Amino acid sequence: MAKKKGKDIPNCWEFMNCPSEACEACPAYPDHGRECWKITSTRCKGGKFVKATLEEKILYCRNECYFYKTHLKELYP
């Protein structure tokens, strides 16, 4: 299987169907939807979780985030 390229990856809020309130409160929105795993204080799972530290964020994304596992894991193993 060929590796995905950044342009082939949707924004996290589109893939996760986040409500507009969560998007507007999220620091990854509107410019970093493909790099959300690197940004602290994002509103994960439609705004249900806020990961404050970078360590907490990366651990969550690598182990639990469906968006990361589906689209980013092969780019950032």
Q: For position 1, what pLDDT does the model report?
A: 39
Q: 16: which residues sit within 8 A by CB, 6+ positions away?
A: 45, 46, 66, 67
Q: List the one residue out of 55, 24, 21 whose CA is nearest residue 38.
A: 55
* Whether the predicted pLDDT of 5 surpasses 70: no
For residue 12, which of 38, 28, 48 has the smallest C-alpha distance?
28
Is the pTM higher than 0.75? The answer reads yes
Distance CA 53, CA 71 (A): 22
